[in-house]
Amino acid sequence: MMTEGTNISLTVRSRDGLLTVSLLPKAKGLKDEAKNHLQPIVLTGSAEELDAGFFDAVQQPVQKATGLLAGMKSFEESLNRVESEKKEAQEKKKDVDKRLQERKTKYDKLIALADSQEAEGKNSEALQTLRDARATADGDNIAKTDARIDQLKAKCMQVELF
């Protein structure tokens, strides 16, 4: 009749020889405000009438109400799980972006160093720096760096006669 984590508040009032019984299923820990809009199940009758038909009268409405509460709880758990997965994905993307940015920064610094070394005539050092830069290059930068390495190799192979 009830799902786990569901409580039922029971109120009994006596008036003019009749009993009025009010039942209200509740679930602890639900954040959804819809839980506050469930209507209580109210039965009025003599003690003998309630004794004879109480459980038959409340069984189906209580099952529906507790089913709604269980559905709300399941929805909240799913929502929490999705939010957690979304947060993890965002953190992972942020981490990947950070690593890519660090790699690009390192590549740019190595290219600048290779430019400086080449300008100073330190072609063999510039060649090694370009090789180091290629290890951090991505996409189009790999092809550009390879072309630059080939150019510098050719330049290193030229022998000045005079």
All structural domains of the chain with their residue ranges = 6-85, 92-157
Q: What is the largest CA-CA distance in the chain?
A: 126
Percent above pLDDT 70 for the chain: 96
Percent above pLDDT 90 for the chain: 40
Judged against a pLDDT cut of 70, whether residue 97 lies above it is answered with: yes
Phi, psi of 27 (to 5 degrees): -125, 130
What span, in angstroms and rounded, lies between the C-alpha atoms of 81 and 125? 53
Neighbours of 97 (CB within 10 A): 10
- For 129-156, what is the mean pLDDT? 88
Sign of CA dihedral 35, 41, 47, 50: negative
CB-CB contact of 10 with 28 (8 Å): no
What is the band of 63 on the pLDDT scale with cuts at 50, 70, 90?
A: confident
Q: Which of 69, 74, 77 is nearest to 28 (CA)?
A: 69
What is the band of 160 on the pLDDT scale with cuts at 50, 70, 90?
A: low
Model pTM score: 0.55
Judged against a pLDDT cut of 90, whether residue 81 lies above it is answered with: yes
What span, in angstroms and rounded, lies between the C-alpha atoms of 113 and 106? 11
Judged against a pLDDT cut of 70, whether residue 2 lies above it is answered with: no
What is the band of 7 on the pLDDT scale with cuts at 50, 70, 90?
A: confident
